[in-house]
Structures are given as structure tokens and as C-alpha cells.
Amino acid sequence: MRLITTILYENLRLALASIRSHLLRASLTVLIIAFGIMALVGILTAIDSIRLSITENFARLGASSFSIRNREMFVQAGGGPSQVFERISYEEALAFKEQYDFPASVSLQVFGTGSTTARYRSEETNPNIRVLGSDENYLITSGAEMALGRNFSPAELQYGADVVLLGHDVAARLFPGDADPLGNFVSIANMRYQVIGVIAQQGTGLGISDDLNCIIPYMTVRQNFSRPNMNYTINVSANEMDLLDEAINEATGLFRVIRGVRSGDPNSFDIAKSDNIAQALIENIRFVTLAATIIGLITLMGAAIGLMNIMLVSVTERTQEIGIRKALGATKAVIKQQFLSEAVVICQIGGAVGIVLGILAGNGISALVGNPFIVPWLWVISGVLLCFGVGVIAGYYPAAKASRLDPIESLRYE
């Protein structure tokens, strides 16, 4: 064991000495490997970060939640269209909420606008504020919590009062510092609303921030953002996770009756569990992961070819050195190990640089869409193993060629 350790140490020392003596060539080789690993680790780091964001954001909705909507939540690789059913009307949504007697919370949701500004005195947001209409169960079915203030009252919901629950970022922008937003009137889409509550920070997922939402009563949306054929979404959160399947079956049967779907006909609406949506997105990310892996491996193949070429040049340049070593008693195995170790060390240095650059590049892309910083340990370990494999594959032939050189001919080489 001690002999093996000594041999490995000596090979490593000789490899580092050779790299220092041919620093420019070694640096170019390191860059080739580094860019190959950076491409692979960078893309896969960004994908892992996006996958984590998807999982966390849909988990926030709770494992016992589902939605009834008119658009099928089916994400097809290649961007295929999802199925669209007839809109869900206000009357249908309200009838479901009134008649659904399962132990669950039901909220109605309708879209107001997605690109407006909010103002309070001299403070104003960017024109990226989304206005949603909902009811007293919005917080439960969306997995949100109240940071300040109160929820909608029955009277405000019934008569469509001009009151609003501000998202965290909207409140922070309009009321900086220790300013209290409660009771103040803000202007949203050129209409005044009294702030009755602020929703706790929810974070950003897939480039969309729930903290930029403004929630108003759905009757207020019907009055202030009136348009033909408004479409509603019904969100349901079962009181117990074990009752989710039963809650879905009950909801499906009731809404089929409300929509007048005849027995034997398919549903004219879609029911989507939050985890199903996440799984559909993650399933399609796998195709991107596969494509990125193939691209990264092709890049590494090019790096291996470049490394082999440079190692062959190194063998030619150091032919006399090889002859001297053999004349001093170095065996074929020792020469082969020396050049093989040099190739592996160069690959590992390039791999380390590439892994660091790849993590930074991948997380830089993730940061642009608001995803968290992660260290993909699986891809880090894979990168190290890949670099070792590339070093062995690219360095074996040059090392074998060096070991077969005739010592006398090598000493004569000019």
C-alpha cells in the first residue's frame, strides 16, 4: 500500500512539474476541458434549479389542492397545444361553491388584468401588477398567509367593495420603510381601493412572482374589469390529504351535473391537481436535460480529441527526455503511468475550473428568473468522474506510444 502511495505521489509530482514547464500548452488544454465541463454543468445546474423551483412552488399549494378550469393543464414536449373547453361562467362557479358540501374549502378566481400599475401618492410600481378576483378562501386554496390586516368580509364580497389585499412586493414598493398600508387608498388601474391586508411573501417561481398580485373581491372584478365571457377557475383544498381523491370524485360528479354533461360523455372541463402540474412540467424538463447532457458530452468529446492531440505533440517534443528516463532505468509501465497521470491531472484541473464556472453560469441563469442558488452535487461528482474518464481515454494512446519508444532512437532524436 505504501509503495502504491509513493508511486502515485511521484507520478503526480512529475505531472505537475511537466505542466509547469509547458504552462501555455497545459493552460490551453485546461481551458478546452473547462469549457466542456462548464457547458455540461452550467446547463444542468440551471435545469436543476428550475426543477427545484417548480417543486417548491407547487408544494406551497399543498398536496390536498386541485383546480377546476376550462383549459387542460397538459404540457407537451415540443409545445403542442393543450385542450381548451367551454369557459366556466360565474353562474356555474357560484353554483359549485354553494352546492359542494364535501369537507373542503372552495374559492372562485377570475382574472382582472396582468399588466397594470399601482400608485400611492408619489410611489408607483412597474406596469407588471396582476389583479385577481377571489373570495374569503383565497388564502387557504393558494397556500398563502396574511402578514398584516384582515381577510374579505361577507359584505365586501357580496357587494363588490373596492378593497384590496396587496402582495408583499407591491406593499413594499408603495409603502417603504415602516409605513403602515392598512386603511390607505391606492390606485390600481386608475381605480381607488382601500388596503385591508398584506399577503406574506410567497416568492417567485418560473419567472412569475405571486408577490406582485393584488387580490380584490371577484364581484369587484366583474364591475371594474367587466368584459364579455369572463372565465372562472374553481380552486378546492380538501381538509385532509387522504380525502383528496374522494374530493375530486365528488367535485367531478357535481360539476358534470352543473354543466349538464350527459352520462357516458367525457368531461367538458379539466381537473388538475397541483402536483400533477408540477410532474408534467418536470417530465418535460427531462427532455431538456437529456438534450443538454448530449450536447455537453459532445463538447467533452471534442475536448478529449484536443487533449489527445496535445499529448501526442508532448510525446514528440519530449522524446529525448523519454530516452533519458529509460536509460536511467524507467520501465515501459513507469513511462506510461507518467504520461497518463499528466493527462488525468490536466483534466482534473480543467474539470475543477469548469465545475466552478458551470455552477456560477447555471445559477446566474436561474437568478434571472428568480430561482434559488444551488450546488448540484450530483453533477459536480459526475463532472469529476467524467474528467477522470476523459483523461484516461485521451491520455492512454499517447502514454502507450511514449512507453514503446526505443531508448537509443529517443536519445538520438533532435
Mean pLDDT (the chain, rounded)? 82
What is the C-alpha separation between 274 and 304, in angstroms, rounded?
44
Measured between alpha carbons, how far is residue 59 from residues 111, 178, 270, 277, 292 in Å? 23, 32, 20, 11, 26
The model's confidence at residue 292, banded by pLDDT at 50, 70 and 90, is confident
Chain center to CA of 273: 20
- pLDDT tens digits along 29-67: 788 788 878 878 887 887 777 777 666 665 555 557 889
Instruction: Let me know: does 134 contact 108? Beta carbons within 8 Å.
Output: yes
pLDDT at 317 over 80: no
Average pLDDT over residues 230-245: 87
**Is residue 285 scored above 60 in pLDDT?**
yes
Which is more confidently placed, 334 or 278?
Answer: 334
Q: 215 phi and psi, to 5 degrees?
A: -105, 125
Distance CA 281, CA 57 (A): 12
In the chain, domain spans:
2-57+281-412, 86-268
Mean pLDDT score, 197-201:
94
Residue 118 pairs in a beta bridge with 188
Count of residues in the chain = 414
Are the beta carbons of 37 and 358 closer than 8 angstroms? Answer: yes
pLDDT digits (tens, 9 = 90+) for 58-112: 555 555 788 998 876 544 444 445 567 889 999 999 999 999 999 999 999 999 9
Whether residue 138 has pLDDT greater than 80: yes
Average pLDDT over every residue of 315-336? 74
What is the structure's pLDDT at 303?
Answer: 75
* Residue 58 confidence (pLDDT): 58
pLDDT at 118 over 90: yes
Contact 220, 162 (CB under 8 A): yes
Most confident residue range from 130-144, 310-324, 343-357: 130-144
d(CA 377, CA 196) in angstroms, rounded, equals 45
Higher pLDDT, 99 or 393: 99
- Is a pLDDT exceeding 60 seen at residue 343? yes
How confident is the model at residue 281, as a pLDDT?
63
Q: How far apart are the first and last CA of the chain?
A: 40
Closest CA to 155 of 114, 125, 196: 196
Q: 405 near 323, Cβ under 8 Å?
A: yes
Averaged pLDDT, 403-413: 67
